[in-house]
Structure 1
């Protein structure tokens, strides 16, 4: 296990005038403060003796009922309480799936690049990640199929395939409908489970929403789905959920008993009321409007300031833009200079199980003030240009 570059960046957050595009933090303006204050008061007044007590390991039954209604409405996923376990953030579910599915050195397929938290979770469980290249339409499923066939020839099929289909972290890319269908076919043909991580699905700013992999799972046995309240309510309450076959939920339940006994009962009651009262459906459009503006500001700033030989993604949703610089520039090595110049980002290497993407970086556009986005991209561009001059042979 290695320290996260993102966590290391947090120590600089208190520096005067420091602008961070590093963390994947929601903007505090997206937190429904007034509604949550009312809900918290009601939870204490009405259910305080239960909400402040130990809870069921699998999760509050009423919350699981509301989650099943929510995913049916937002993702057309049909599920039951027995297929849902509430977790302490979706990260706990991700770690748990690695623990359950992976024996030492078992392989799994991931996108390249992929979520840094997934790399940490799978490394902690000694999984051997097989990265598959992406483009603007998501993971290249033809290459997934090629890899599966070569692994099958050696009787060494991957234990599962991990993907973030919507506004992927870190690239912002969305997996196309055709590729989703193809991926489902591969899962069914070779009996390889899919793990669908969908923290950003509701943060759609442009384009059409594409059906989730879980909604395409006819048997209900091929796709395990990870969801969270961190982006649609707030991350501080640490509530996520996993929707999976009963056998998987049962194993997650056993593991969770060893990890934390249960997720915060109080937080679960708050999340239950948040869904039951329909606050989520009023809040998400406000968050989308806020983030759409910030995405557009960053894209415009990149166009105005970044070197012409650099490229970047143009996401339809989510929280991140993936920028790639001249191949002579190593963004990990450049990070120290950038921090000294007052701007933080996460280098591409942090998202690379195989040490690739050394000239790329992930930029978060949701957290910073509008004017900070422009100023930060301008300052970052100056850093890149100065480093680029030094990297160019005389």
Structure 2
């Protein structure tokens, strides 16, 4: 008599409360030329330095170094790459030594390693409201309790930070101070100084996620949180090549205080042993041979034009009473639609927008606490100004059909 297979064990309960990212789900639209997608925070592929990267890989796979670059390597990362990244961070007002750095498979992995090292189920993480969706996923997967901090057009409000630190005693304070995802806000220097003081006073780890910091289109450079002496032993600064190089490299880094480095290295070893040796070697060749500042300047000029096109188009197309952020850099603007009755949910507007040939991300998933459902996120970096104007016009038409409103300029 054949044996009846027993049911398989259930999937781990930690995933039960982790939602799929609507951004990832909407990325399927990228290949659909009929849809202008403002959903994913995607760099413009036509600005990738394909030839420069091709030559860097060729050099990394040539000569005596080729076989070494195809071998296992140290978990901390390629020494030459860490030296080059450290020098670049130092030039950007964050003094850094190569030994301060851990190379990761994208900065998202660095965030995952930090949740492993710093968080236990039930631990509290404090985040700006709204906050980076993938960070919220990572904290949920760790079983953490996420508490939102009130923010305004300049980022988190120090008084709210102080209140959350006092009442909830979070283990980690997570911030994206430069051109935040999803809002595009930038935290001013005086607020950074006060937040550093508060974090030191309350014994809280600070995670400063800075993937967009080099993409500044207007305003003045602001020194990183990690540069504040009060945070010298308690701030982890995350960075990435995804926005200045190419996301397909999957290369990021964490600048880590000495006391935390051994734990993160062990977490890295358990996760994947090391980030791709050959990709790190090619990146080191590329940084050594390329004027990255000149490349970034080209990218910034293109994105500045696209940001300006998006802001102008929104003024022409969105319903009267709408508001949106005016980012000094980065990839996003954050929109709030008029909601006099308090019942609007932009997720309900997405099907109509898709039917009109345009995509956005509804705001609700970006909130740790009670969401403002009248919000949505738009990314302006992927498309040309002409395509942006067309996409925003489609969005305006879809909103007018759904809400029965007219554009502010109408």
Partners of 2:348 and 2:78 in 1: CA distance: 46
Secondary structure, aligned partner of 2:247 = coil
Partner residue, 2:164: 147
CA deviations over 1:296-322 (Å, ceiling 9, x no partner): 000010011111210000000000000
Runs of 4+ in 1 over 4 A off after TM superposition: none
Per-residue deviation at 1:219?
6.1
Contact 2:71 2:277 in 1 (8 A): yes
101-110 vs 30-39, greater mean Cα deviation:
30-39
Per-residue deviation at 1:280?
1.4
Partner residue, 2:386: 371
- Equivalence map 1:330-369=2 (5 Å): 330-369=345-384
Partners of 1:221 and 1:371 in 2: CA distance: 47
Distance 1:39 1:276, change over 3 A: same
CA deviations over 1:199-219 (Å, ceiling 9, x no partner): 000000000011111111356
Aligned residue among 377, 387, 393 for 2:402: 387
State TM-score, norm by structure 1: 0.94
Distance 1:377 1:219, change over 3 A: closer
Contact 1:329 1:388 in 2 (8 A): no
- Equivalence map 1:117-196=2 (5 Å): 117-151=134-168, 157-196=169-208
Secondary structure, aligned partner of 2:99 = helix
Partners of 2:234 and 2:269 in 1: CA distance: 25
Partners of 1:296 and 1:205 in 2: CA distance: 10
Unpaired runs of at least 5, structure 1: 152-156
Secondary structure, aligned partner of 2:150 = strand
Secondary structure, aligned partner of 1:236 = helix
* 1:233 matches 2:245: yes
Partners of 2:290 and 2:377 in 1: CA distance: 33
Partners of 2:122 and 2:323 in 1: CA distance: 35
- Equivalence map 1:66-77=2 (5 Å): 66-74=84-92, 76-77=93-94
Secondary structure, aligned partner of 2:348 = helix
Q: For this pair of structures, how many residues does the alignment match? A: 384
- Equivalence map 1:1-394=2 (5 Å): 1-46=18-63, 47-74=65-92, 76-151=93-168, 157-217=169-229, 220-327=232-339, 328-389=343-404
CA deviations over 1:198-249 (Å, ceiling 9, x no partner): 0000000000011111111356202110000111111101000001112322
Q: Let me know the Cα RMSD of the aligned residues.
A: 1.4
Partners of 2:231 and 2:182 in 1: CA distance: 30
Per-residue deviation at 1:271?
1.5
State TM-score, norm by structure 2: 0.91
CA deviations over 1:145-183 (Å, ceiling 9, x no partner): 0222223xxxxx110100000000000000011100100
Contact 2:111 2:138 in 1 (8 A): yes
Unpaired runs of at least 5, structure 2: 1-17, 406-410
